[in-house]
Amino acid sequence: MNGDYHASRLTEDHRRGAVWVALWRYVFRHRIAADACVLDLGAGYGDFINSVTARRRIAVDTWAGLADHVAPGVEALVTPVTDLGAIADDSVDFAFASNLFEHLPQDAFVLALREIARTLSPRGTLTILQPNYRYAFREYFDDYTHVAVYSHISLADLLTAHGWDVTEVRPRFLPLTVKSRLPVWPWLIAAYLASPFKPMGKQMLVVARPDDPDGPDPDGPAP
């Protein structure tokens, strides 16, 4: 249905890998333990998961080319995020989704949340990085596969409504895309992350953990 998305919209770009290496160095290595199992949802070219150092690394995507791009040692699962049956209960310590849930209808997002909650260990968390519509509304639908709209408020509210405890919200975490002409020098990324002023910040970061592993009934309480 979406055609050749990787050839038209999500082309391979070495700058994306450079950004994730810097994000690992300055952000995520402080959040992921060496003995953790890390799950990358909607992994694409594997830029995030390839940069991670952890005991176990799993990449999930519906794209058949996934296995050709992940690093040695990364387990590649070609499956929708609504079906994580290949991953055991309580086995994932750090689940991550970058620029994923805006591509899913909301009912599929809720199903994915239930699957993710099932896989998370007692210390497990879900970190979501994606466009914040409040700040990216002009460019949001330049991506023709975007079907859902979230701000940092609505995303946190949806998670809470479906049995998650939201522990961190950063409304302006990163610029929207690496397609701009801005350089991706590591020191510049570090300075941007450390700065309290982020006028170009259009991607949000939201962290949550399951409050109830099963979550409430997505159809609401019984009458």
Looking at residue 9, what is its pLDDT? 43
Q: Which residues contact 164 (CB under 8 A, 6 or more apart)?
A: 113, 117, 126, 208, 209, 210, 211, 215
Looking at residue 1, what is its pLDDT? 47
Looking at residue 41, what is its pLDDT? 98
Looking at residue 19, what is its pLDDT? 83
Facing residues of 22 across strands?
A: none
Query: Does pLDDT of 223 surpass 70?
Result: no
Looking at residue 52, what is its pLDDT? 97
Query: Does pLDDT of 213 surpass 60?
Result: no
Can you give the pTM of this predicted structure?
0.84
Residue 16 CA to residue 21 CA, distance in Å, equals 9
17 close to 50: Cβ distance less than 8 angstroms? yes
Query: What is the chain's mean pLDDT, rounded?
Result: 86
In tens, the pLDDT along 112-140 reads 999 999 999 999 999 999 999 999 999 89
More confident residue, 10 or 158: 158
In tens, the pLDDT along 11-32 reads 455 666 788 888 999 999 999 9
In tens, the pLDDT along 34-78 reads 999 999 999 999 999 999 999 999 999 999 999 999 999 999 999
Q: Which residues contact 22 (CB under 8 A, 6 or more apart)?
A: 184, 186, 189, 190
Residues 88-104, mean pLDDT to the nearest whole number: 97
Residue 111 region by backbone torsions, left for phi larger than 0, else alpha for psi between -120 and 50, else beta: alpha
In tens, the pLDDT along 137-191 reads 998 999 889 999 999 999 999 999 999 999 999 999 988 564 555 666 576 667 7
210 close to 163: Cβ distance less than 8 angstroms? yes
Query: Does pLDDT of 8 surpass 50?
Result: no
